[in-house]
Structure 1
Amino acid sequence: MNRRKAPLLLALALLLAGSALLVSKARPTEGPSPETNPARAPAKSGPGEALAARSQGTPATEAGAQEDTDGLERPGVDLVSYLRSRYGARIRDPHTQMRMLEQLMRHFQKLNPTGWEADLLAVLQQAFPELYDELAQRLRQRLDYEKWVKEHHAELQQKPAAERRAALWEERTRLFGKEAAERIWAAELRNLAVADALTAIDALPGASVSDRMARYKQSLEKAYGENSQAYVRAHQQELMNRFLDLGSVQKDLGTMAPEQRARNLRTIREEMGLDAQALQRWEELDRMRDARWELGSQYMSEREALAQQYSGPELEARLTELRARYFSDEAQTVAEEERSGFFRFTRPRQWGRN
């Protein structure tokens, strides 16, 4: 082992010893890390692609109203009192109506799969008799929209994102009316506004990372108004990832010297409201990632050299030795990945993300 590699291996070993705790503290809302399971690394998509992919859902799904039914299923709960307490203050709002109807649908469909609609309407009559006709109509609109989406699913999937969005909004407006539709799908409209802003930010010529971040924060403030700070606090990880996923941001970070890149990553995280402790954890994670990628680059260079000299069983024996020297306990995992055709250190480096 050469002198340059020895301290790097030692440093990486020390970093990896605490990596599980570090990652769990640094990324409390993230799923499995591509670093711990790189074969499952998610495919990269554009800023608005995920939003477009889920824009065919039912109104409550798009409004972010996937409530659980625990409140309805508690032993001895009075359903009418529960509905009045939970939804009564805002029951005239179309979005609130849809949240309630979605929760009731899940509850009654579980209890009575064939006669659930009559049971649901009976409860609405008791809980909100003065709004019964409006709520019954809203339920019918909800069911008609779901039926339409199912019937046109294949057709919608074949349309470009913009045409699919236009078709969906045309049907929503026809069924619910423009004002009610915009209230029910308010969350989608805000998300799409931010996604469109990200697309524009990504295309800005000559903008610095700081300039793009300033525009991003402006788009969040415009979309979420007086609730923007609370929204950012509640979605720090998601919002930060969406910004870091921009090709322009990654390109700029990739051309920076390490110290400048570290400063820019810190600024991005500060702008997303991370506190001092979180910033320190992220910086430690960045150092761990840098060391790992450096080690991976050295490994791939040696691997390529071996592949040019050997083949067959002799090559596999030498690769087994090489992986054990570089990755220790992870050597078998790396071998299985490579047999499947996945090489973790040939995938693109996403600064601040892997």
Structure 2
Amino acid sequence: MRATAPPKHLTITVMLVGGIALAYVLYPASPGPEEPDQPQKAAESVTQTDTPNATESRRKASKEEAPAMQGDLSFEEVVELMQERHGGELGTRLGQIDMINALIAYLKKTHPDNWQAMMEKLLNAAFPDQAAELLELANNHLEYVAWRRQADAELRQLDNDARMEMLMEQRREIFGEAVAEDLWKHQIRDYETQKAIERLASESDRPVNERLDEFSSVVKENYSEEALKNQSTSMGDSFASQFLEATQDELRDMEAQQRQQTINETRRQLGYSESAVENLARLDRTRDKRWESGEQYMEKRERIMANYEGEERQERLRSAREQIQGASADTIRKEEESGHFRFEQERTYGLQ
């Protein structure tokens, strides 16, 4: 596989209905040193920094309509808002963590000197049957966040596998194995899926269709049908795009018809609808024609550069661009003047 730059992430600030702004991060498929949570290439996901994955189901319309938990509220008002906003999500640990984060953020602003004591009182008042469980989870969460900050420098020095191992070992120690694997189940799933694509990409001695069947099985075992349907059908971050990117060398060696059949089957097996497969195949054909004309232009350009100089060279180049590239001629001229030659780049198939 080609070497890649360190993974980047996109931070999105979301204003919770509780009036608390929390930063959410979209992560690539391998967790970096500041990425303790879910890396994500599929459609199920947004990850809250230094907390487990926050699922889409937490943001139901009824919750979005709950009053804001902010300002100078009485104890009873806070209890009521906690019940209204978070009572319906406490059946999952992810929902519990969501509530705990929102409550901690609010109390640190309103009760900076005794927010932990206030948290315990509020949990007992709002959810008496679950208060002990919630308080234990909150304390474990705070311990994990403190450890995560302390261990940041060490985690930065580790490769992805060692980092993931260290993170999960500490999570299991703090939360217990069952809770840790529940809280970070999406990250574990995504990490294992990414490891599968990396392994399959390195097995170039195996036929592409055989590796595709195996990767398709891994994806379908780990992701719901809905998640596959909801992934982008553009040539961006999808499972099909990951597989196609990992098999570019093999695709380049194929005849055009076999290559397109392989690209179509990759998209089909990895969640694209038949109409999406057909639409993207049409885009592929358009790109094929563009590259064919580009290669034709570059061959003619090379002959012109070798045989002509001065104004005659420039006139012949202009004529070649207009004749072969049509409406793109002026754009290509400007690119060439800046030193960029688009058709000298290595071509990718099925991606862009």
Please give the TM-score of this superposition, normalised by the length of structure 2.
0.69
Relative to 1, partners in 2 of residues 1:69 and 1:217: Cα closer, same or farther, differing over 3 Å?
closer
Q: List per-residue Cα deviations over 1:168-227 (Å, max 9, x = no partner).
A: 223222322222111111011111221222222223353222211110122224435xx4
Q: What corresponds to 1:199 in structure 2?
A: 198
Q: What corresponds to 1:299 in structure 2?
A: 297
2:227 corresponds, among 221, 228, 231, to 231
Q: What corresponds to 2:245 in structure 1?
A: 245
Quick one: higher RCO (CA 8 Å, sep 6+), 1 or 2? Answer: 1
Q: What corresponds to 2:10 in structure 1?
A: none
Q: What corresponds to 1:50 in structure 2?
A: 28
Q: What corresponds to 2:97 in structure 1?
A: 98
Matches within 5 A, 1:250-269: 250-269=248-267
Unaligned runs of 5+ in 2: 8-26, 38-46, 69-79
More deviation in 339-348 or 255-264?
A: 339-348
Matches within 5 A, 1:325-336: 326-327=324-325, 330-331=328-329, 333-335=331-333
Relative to 1, partners in 2 of residues 1:264 and 1:80: Cα closer, same or farther, differing over 3 Å?
same
Q: CA deviation at 1:285?
A: 0.6
Q: CA deviation at 1:235?
A: 3.0
How far, CA to CA, are the matches of 1:116 and 1:329 in structure 2? Answer: 68
Q: CA deviation at 1:109?
A: 7.8
Q: What corresponds to 1:5 in structure 2?
A: none
Q: CA deviation at 1:250?
A: 1.9
1:65 corresponds, among 54, 73, 76, to 54
Q: What corresponds to 2:175 in structure 1?
A: 176
Q: What corresponds to 1:87 in structure 2?
A: 89
Matched AA of 2:295: S
How far, CA to CA, are the matches of 1:322 and 1:109 in structure 2? Answer: 69
Matched AA of 1:194: T
Q: 1:95·1:184 contact (CA, 8 Å) conserved in 2? A: yes
How far, CA to CA, are the matches of 1:281 and 1:170 in structure 2? Answer: 45
CA RMSD of aligned residues (A): 3.9
How far, CA to CA, are the matches of 1:113 and 1:291 in structure 2? Answer: 65
Q: List per-residue Cα deviations over 1:118-147 (Å, max 9, x = no partner).
A: 576555333322222332332233233333
Q: What corresponds to 1:281 in structure 2?
A: 279
The residue matched to 1:50 in structure 2 has which SS?
coil
How far, CA to CA, are the matches of 1:264 and 1:69 in structure 2? Answer: 40
Matched AA of 1:203: S
Please give the TM-score of this superposition, normalised by the length of structure 1.
0.69
Relative to 1, partners in 2 of residues 1:213 and 1:277: Cα closer, same or farther, differing over 3 Å?
same
Q: 1:52·1:161 contact (CA, 8 Å) conserved in 2? A: yes
Q: 2:36·2:167 contact (CA, 8 Å) conserved in 1? A: no
Relative to 1, partners in 2 of residues 1:275 and 1:218: Cα closer, same or farther, differing over 3 Å?
closer
Q: CA deviation at 1:335?
A: 4.9
The residue matched to 1:179 in structure 2 has which SS?
helix
More deviation in 286-295 or 204-213?
A: 204-213
Unaligned runs of 5+ in 1: 1-42
How far, CA to CA, are the matches of 1:68 and 1:167 in structure 2? Answer: 31
Matched AA of 2:259: R
Report the number of matched residues. 302
Matched AA of 2:278: Q
How far, CA to CA, are the matches of 1:100 and 1:211 in structure 2? Answer: 45
Q: CA deviation at 1:72?
A: 5.6
Identity %: 25
How far, CA to CA, are the matches of 1:241 and 1:275 in structure 2? Answer: 15
How far, CA to CA, are the matches of 1:117 and 1:169 in structure 2? Answer: 29
Matched AA of 2:195: D
Q: 1:63·1:95 contact (CA, 8 Å) conserved in 2? A: yes
The residue matched to 2:30 in structure 1 has which SS?
helix
Q: List per-residue Cα deviations over 1:239-291 (Å, max 9, x = no partner).
A: 11111111xx2222222221222222222222124333222211211111101
The residue matched to 1:207 in structure 2 has which SS?
coil
Matched AA of 1:65: A
